[in-house]
Structure 1
Amino acid sequence: MSADELEALEADPDEFLRDLLGQEGAVELADGSTAPRLPFRIFWIDDGEFCGVIGLRFQPGTEELPDYVPGHVGYSIVPWKRRRGYATRALALILPVARSMGLARVSVTCDAENEASRKVILSNGGKLIGMTPRDPETGRPTLSYRIET
């Protein structure tokens, strides 16, 4: 989870869950504009206690994503549970879910400097397909990968 998500969770847990589970509505983009929220599936990762989340975003009937969506899959592990293989295993487990939804491949992005995330993606068969020199939200270079489901 990001620091912003943790802060929102602590401030109002009920609102955080409503927002997290809401399939309707819009998302706010980095430039302040809004765009439609895509359908998604989200899974919490746990080992008896909360470890993180992994989510799958998609558009029914196509593998394409709007340009404001960085990839089909996003994941985050809480700092005190990292380096235990949770993200690698979660990504492996979400690939059959993507396949069952008609996705033959998924896209996953990460910061170019995020070695841990690169390893997670590569461990699951990720093939590098491109680099964005400056991500609009973070301002950092981003790597794009494709994984066959």
Structure 2
Amino acid sequence: MPEPFRLVMPAPIYLPAYRAALEAGWSPDTVLGNLATQRELDRIDRDAMAFLLSLDDPKAKGPPVLMRDGTPRPRLPGYRRWMWDGEFCGSISLRWQEGTAAMPDYCPGHIGFSVVPWKRGHGYAAQALGALLPEARGRGLPHVDLTTNIDNDAARRTIERCGGILVDHVEKDAGDGGGSAARYRIMLG
């Protein structure tokens, strides 16, 4: 009998399934894609426990974040949770700036998510996003912003299903290759 879907904190028990998803070509980062996949595998190989601990950083103590072009940007407070239904399903992250709902230009969204291809179509992204919204509210955020490629219809539908309203179109940071993205806002009030 399959387990119910839930978000889990990254931990050693889930790491083999996470690694297998990376090795199968999935990326937790829809902007960096294969580059993020390789960076994660390298970090796991160097020190798996340090990798896991780095995914929960609400004080932004970790090193700067490297953009696609290698440009370092200040790390934001945040954490990642993994989607789980007895098997690894994907990843969702929440990031913020203390004392404000605004996000820096190089990170135009509070939440990012990615579901492994073999688990798509089950509504897991919407369930994960719905589960993360109360946590964002608990951090004092009045709203969360999410960005997605304009042509990513599945992500747009997921965000809209969770109450997202299209706010505008933004230019992605040049360090991530530039280009236009749709920015949605979900009110948490």
Equivalence for 1:55: 93
Distance apart, 1:42 and its partner CA: 1.3
Which secondary structure does the structure 2 equivalent of 1:60 belong to?
A: coil
Query: Residues 40 and 46 of structure 1: is their aligned pair in 2 closer, same or farther, counting only changes over 3 Å?
Result: same
Letter in structure 1 aligned against 2:73: A
**In terms of mean alpha carbon deviation, does 42-51 or 134-143 score higher?**
134-143
Query: Residues 4 and 17 of structure 1: is their aligned pair in 2 closer, same or farther, counting only changes over 3 Å?
Result: farther
Distance apart, 1:79 and its partner CA: 1.1
CA distance in 2, matches of 1:12, 1:142: 29
- Structure 1's consecutive aligned runs of 4 or more residues displaced over 6 angstroms after TM superposition are none
1:1-149 alignment, distance < 5 Å: 1=28, 2-13=33-44, 14=48, 16-21=51-56, 23-24=60-61, 25-132=63-170, 136=174, 137-149=176-188
| Structure 2 spans left out of the alignment, 5+ residues | 1-27
CA distance in 2, matches of 1:8, 1:111: 22
CA distance in 1, matches of 2:182, 2:81: 24
**Which whole-Å deviations, capped at 9, do the CAs of 1:21-57 have from their partners, x for residues lacking one?**
4542211234533221000021110101111111110
CA distance in 2, matches of 1:26, 1:98: 22
CA distance in 1, matches of 2:41, 2:73: 26
- Does the 8 Å contact 1:135/1:142 carry over to 2? no
- TM-score, normalized by length of structure 1? 0.88
Q: CA RMSD in A?
A: 2.0
Letter in structure 1 aligned against 2:137: R
- TM-score, normalized by length of structure 2? 0.71
CA distance in 2, matches of 1:133, 1:5: 20
CA distance in 1, matches of 2:127, 2:147: 17
CA distance in 2, matches of 1:65, 1:9: 24
CA distance in 1, matches of 2:70, 2:53: 22
Name the % identity: 41
**In terms of mean alpha carbon deviation, does 18-27 or 45-54 score higher?**
18-27
Q: How many residues align?
A: 149
**Which whole-Å deviations, capped at 9, do the CAs of 1:63-109 have from their partners, x for residues lacking one?**
01111112000011111111110001111111100000000100000
**In terms of mean alpha carbon deviation, does 103-112 or 34-43 score higher?**
34-43
Which secondary structure does the structure 2 equivalent of 1:122 belong to?
A: helix
| Structure 1 spans left out of the alignment, 5+ residues | none
